[in-house]
A and B are shown apart, each in its own frame.
Chain A
């Protein structure tokens, strides 16, 4: 199990500054969609199937309705569970030394990548659309000189604060590196 106190490949003097997940509105959207998927078949059942006595009392139709409804709701549940797992395990960790992107992709795929703060060249934040503007969530893009050149924080709360935080950390890191170089030259 992952612990914020036990980072993968933790560097010396590394401190976790911020752990970021997607905005809660994304979860609310998923829950609303889930509720819609639950209620629509119930409405359909009460309007079209329940009044039809031959369907409800049939030798084959009733068992098939039970199996179909059961399979549908079990599938919806597992779909919701994986939506939650996808949300919960997708994290960006900003530390004093690097940015770590942990991404859960579907059922059996997981990608962990990281960028050293000293390689960050440009940080941009974006907020587009009605809900993102009102609820203050959006994207933050980090351009680096590394192998993976662009890092995207999508649907994160307060992207401009994250941008300012990263810029501040990058400047601190550069000052620290310059100071260390001076010391080593002396």
Chain B
């Protein structure tokens, strides 16, 4: 008996995490916009958060893009080919 899954399965879990991560980032920026003080510091704080979040996401995306997600791994036969 063997249960094989493609690496894509982990990629989908990761993408689901990215969606949640994006929602949390949007909520943080929404909080700053709605409840933060109307001043230059708030403006630059939001800019910094957006810039760093985009940079992190872009760096992660570059690493993820280079990987071949098609190989299958067998969970039960202990043939988890590392």
Contact = CB atoms under 8 A, between A and B. Distances in A.
A140 to B, nearest CB: 21
A84 to B, nearest CB: 7
Given A67-B11, A88-B32, A60 B81 contact: yes
A58 B28 contact: no
Given A61-B82, A66-B63, A78 B31 contact: no
A107 B24 contact: yes
Majority SS at the chain A contact face: helix
A75 to B, nearest CB: 7
A74 B18 contact: yes
Interface in A27-76: 54-55, 58-64, 66-67, 70-71, 73-75
A110 interface: yes
Given A70-B14, A78-B28, A89 B36 contact: yes
A77 B56 contact: yes
A70 B63 CA distance: 9
In order of increasing CB-CB distance, the 8 nearest A-B pairs are A58-B82, A70-B60, A61-B82, A3-B38, A1-B38, A63-B67, A59-B71, A81-B28
Interface of B: 7, 10-11, 14, 17-18, 21, 24-25, 27-28, 31-38, 42, 45, 49, 52-53, 56-57, 60, 63-64, 67, 69, 71, 73, 80-82
Interface of A: 1-4, 54-55, 58-64, 66-67, 70-71, 73-75, 77-78, 81-82, 84-85, 88-89, 102, 104, 107-108, 110
Given A78-B28, A107-B27, 7 more contacts: A58-B81, A67-B10, A73-B56, A74-B21, A74-B60, A81-B49, A82-B28
